Structure 1
Amino acid sequence: MKKLSFKLGIVFFLIIFGLETFMFFFLHNALVNSRIEEELSSLQARGNSHRDILAKHFDVNTISHVALMESEAITDVVITDNFGTILGSSFKNNQIQSYLKKPHSRINADGQIVEKDWKKKPYIITISPIGTTNETIGYVYMFQKTASIQSLIERLNQHFSLAGLIALLLTFIVIIILTKALTKPLVKMKEATYQISKGKFSVTLPKTGNDELGELAKSIKLLAQDLNYLKKERNDFLASISHELRTPLTYIKGYSDIVMTRNLTSKDQEKYLQIIVEEANRLSSLIEDLFALAKIDKNTFVIQKQKVLLNDLLKKMELKLSPAFKEKNMSLVVHCPERTYLYADPSRLEQIIINLLDNSIKYSSIGSETLITVTPRKKTTDIIIKDNGKGIPEKDLPNIFNRFYRVEKSRKRSLGGTGLGLAIVQELVYAQGGSINVHSKLNNGTTFTLTFHTNGAEK
């Protein structure tokens, strides 16, 4: 009872059955009324025909001849004079006088219907006046038994009942086929979603065209693909986290055991403790990055966009990062037009640029230059960060914003990093309605282009 096919079948059946009942009832009444009108018109026309003959020859012979004609027909005639006296009749009926009603008003020359209740009365009756326009000399009453009409209507009812049963049967068959055709793909989709809930994402669905069911099937397939991708990403993410956490912890535990269990010189102790501090710092940085990504994923971090004067912001950052660049004998050059504004969160924007400059320091050679260029446009502002570092291989470019993805597969501690920096940068840029693009060639440097809105509007 709870199946969709049953519910759809009941709804379709009630709707179609209601429409068919209304149409059959309407058509039946129309045919019955039309048939009764035809019988009355035919009876009136027959009476008018006799009236025309009698108007020319209103005598005993003509009256007898008309009565004789009708005695062989399914209709009957009664001819009276102007006072209601019967002059001739095609049938004998003791109650015939009760059907003859002298008109209280002048009857139209085309006659009129005296009795048309075919359901309750034994006869339908019409009257036609005999005479001229100014004088009436008699009347022609035409009678037709309603039993014949009732028999006709009964046959019509039988035909309608048979047609109704056939229509009802065909409707039932069509509804069964239709509901199965509609619900079959839905059942397949239900099975597919059940398989997806069990972790089986390779589902196949029937082709249903370009209608709503087709769009639903495409959405389910897309959902399965996305869930499969997310599952793979989750597994890779967990594996990467395990590896990233295990590596510094292994170093910390191993060198701590060495320091505690061996008699080392002060120089060796200092060396091993330095390694422990570096790995502890690396572990702390990794945990901070993971917390940052967790906040981004949950949308729990706050973006407070405001009008930022880029020239001032970049000067402060240049001053802050100068020692790190000087340590590697590198230079940082900033080109920013005066009074250049954009709408962004200044602290998040600073975090983005520092992460990108940190990569420039790590992967650029000694004595190289990193250039920051600000290009104002009509509605946006570009911040371009270009270095002369190692560059990124073309095959790695599509993946550099993935979490824990590293171009340097050796994971050397000298190169540092957690593989989360660019992922955080991209999320922070998107959170402020901006975009980030990268262009790089191996051994020829890397260029990051950040685009932000200058009027506070977001795409």
Structure 2
Amino acid sequence: MASKRRFSYRLRLFIPMLGMMLAIIGVLIVFQYRRESDYRKSMLERDLKFICQRIIDAYQRGTNLRPFVNFINEYYEGSLYDDISVNVYSSDGKLMYHAGLPVLQDFTEVSRPSEEAFNAIKRSATYREQIGDMNYLVRTELSKDGKIFVYTAMPYTLSIGEALSIGSDIWIMLAVITVAAIIGCIFSTRLLTRSVNLLRDFANRAGNSEKLYDADKFPHDELGDVSRQIVKLYHDRTEAVKRSEKEHRIALHAVEEKARLKRDLTNNINHELKTPVGVIRGYLDTIISNPDMDAATRERFMKRTWENVERLCLLLNDVSTMTRLEDGAGNVPVTQVDFHDLVFTIENDLTISGLAGNMTFHYNLPLDCTVKGNSHLLSGMVSNLIKNAALHSHGTEMGLKLVVESEKYYTFSFYDNGTGVEPQHLPHLFERFYRIDAGRARKTGGTGLGLPIVKNTIEALGGTISVHNRSGGGLEFLFTLEKWRGGEA
């Protein structure tokens, strides 16, 4: 179906505005024409009245009217009033003096003017009258004593018509006003529709995904304010959609990354379990298939089997800890923990547990060092750092100290004086089952989950951790723990 022809908003505004302006101008033209015509006619009537009154005044002063009437006739000769007829009658209608044509001898003749002219004796009046084939503008004036009256008649000749007509200058002025009104309407509608045109252009650009201009281009009026608000809402909505899409991508990436990590963890666990399980199975198969094995060899095989069972138990415990930390990172129960007492207890147990191996452990913590945490997780975190240093640092000393205290956090340093690691390995130390020397790590009994557990513990408690090589040798772990503030649950 063919769409209806649309008229632009500017045209819809221009046509009524122009029509209203032309209507106003038309009314002004009619009013001015009538006013000018009436004014010119009144000027003519005023002059006729002036002539009549001068004659009446001369009569009342006793002046001889003959020379005065002749003077009037000569005075107006060659002027607009060249064809004027001036007649002075007595009260009985007899012609006393005259100048110009036609000459009406008296009102008793058959050819006298109409009854309207005759009745004018009783009053002073101005009216139109047709005498013969000519129209006249007539003015009659009666003297105060009623003995004479003056009858003046001005024929409607071409010159009189031109005098009564409106001059061309007024039509030129009205034409200029009309053109100015049209131009004014054009510019007014252009200004009024600027916001609409800009908003339409903005919508087209937005629909075509083109570059959008700034909202400051809109005029500073009510329509411009509305347009700027619409543009602002569009930009806000676009930004919200972009943020939503970005958050969706991040969330999707996080889900995919979590799924990948779980797959990697499963694969790594499967790989790590195969080694101790394989060793245990090998030793047990050998013992079962050789019942006559000597006691020393059997005991050595059983000891190796027990060591791998112990390693398997450690691995399963670490996997369980990692799973709890990842699944309940935001739900870890926290209490007030005296970090000094916790480290003091671990240090006292090192001799019995042998966790530090051949290395010595030192700590330097203030007595009032209370943190917001979980004593079981923090104990496991410190123990894993000590165990990692004992197994892999090749040093003789390790330590834990407070390095920075802020309003909200404690920053601790765990360090050793070992050999450190190559810089390319530093970013991967907290990855699951990452080993710099896989063969040696398994021989030392590491599960590959110690440092990942440390990192997950710190992050689950709202802290951060980083690692770097010390300038004097060895590794340094810097981690933060949140202070315990009174009133926290």
Summarize deviations over 1:372-407 as a string: whole Å, max 9, x none.
Answer: 223462423233222233422211111101122112
Contact residue 333 and residue 370 of structure 1 kept, 8 A: yes
Matched with 1:181 is: 208
Indicate yes or no: 2:27 matched with 1:40: yes
Summarize deviations over 1:82-101 as a string: whole Å, max 9, x none.
Answer: xxxx979xxxxxxxxxxxxx
- Counterpart CA distance in 2 for 1:325 and 1:250 is 27
Indicate yes or no: 2:39 matched with 1:52: yes
Q: Structure 1 residues 222, 350: closer, same or farther in 2, change over 3 A?
A: same
Aligned-residue offset at 1:318: 0.9
Q: Structure 1 residues 180, 259: closer, same or farther in 2, change over 3 A?
A: farther
Other structure's SS at 1:371 match: strand
Pairwise CA RMSD of aligned residues? Answer: 4.6
- Counterpart CA distance in 1 for 2:320 and 2:389 is 24
Matched with 2:437 is: 408
Amino acid at match of 1:450: F
Contact residue 355 and residue 387 of structure 2 kept, 8 A: no
Q: Structure 1 residues 442, 248: closer, same or farther in 2, change over 3 A?
A: farther
Matched with 2:111 is: none
Larger Rg: 2
TM-score by length of 1: 0.57
Other structure's SS at 2:208 match: helix
When the two structures are aligned, how many residues end up with a matched partner? 317
Matched with 2:289 is: 261
Matched with 1:190 is: none
Other structure's SS at 2:421 match: coil
Q: Structure 1 residues 294, 311: closer, same or farther in 2, change over 3 A?
A: closer
Other structure's SS at 1:241 match: helix
Matched with 2:454 is: 425
Amino acid at match of 1:333: H
Q: Structure 1 residues 310, 239: closer, same or farther in 2, change over 3 A?
A: closer
Structure 2: gaps of 5 or more residues:
1-5, 49-126, 130-163, 167-181, 187-196, 211-237
- Counterpart CA distance in 2 for 1:378 and 1:216 is 34
Aligned-residue offset at 1:238: 4.1
Other structure's SS at 1:182 match: coil
Amino acid at match of 2:29: S
- Counterpart CA distance in 1 for 2:481 and 2:244 is 38
Aligned-residue offset at 1:37: 1.0
Identity %: 21
Other structure's SS at 2:319 match: helix
Matched with 1:374 is: 402
Indicate yes or no: 2:316 matched with 1:316: no
Aligned-residue offset at 1:436: 1.6
- Counterpart CA distance in 2 for 1:300 and 1:221 is 21
Other structure's SS at 1:386 match: strand
Aligned-residue offset at 1:275: 2.5
Q: Structure 1 residues 350, 215: closer, same or farther in 2, change over 3 A?
A: same
Matched with 1:135 is: none
Q: Structure 1 residues 441, 250: closer, same or farther in 2, change over 3 A?
A: farther
* Correspondence 1:223-372 to 2 at 5 A: 223=250, 233=261, 236-263=264-291, 264-299=293-328, 302-325=331-354, 328-365=357-394, 368-372=396-400
Summarize deviations over 1:58-106 as a string: whole Å, max 9, x none.
Answer: 49x9xxxxxxxxxxxxxxxxxxxxxxxx979xxxxxxxxxxxxxxxxxx
* Correspondence 1:393-404 to 2 at 5 A: 393-404=422-433
Other structure's SS at 1:391 match: coil
TM-score by length of 2: 0.54
Contact residue 392 and residue 442 of structure 1 kept, 8 A: no
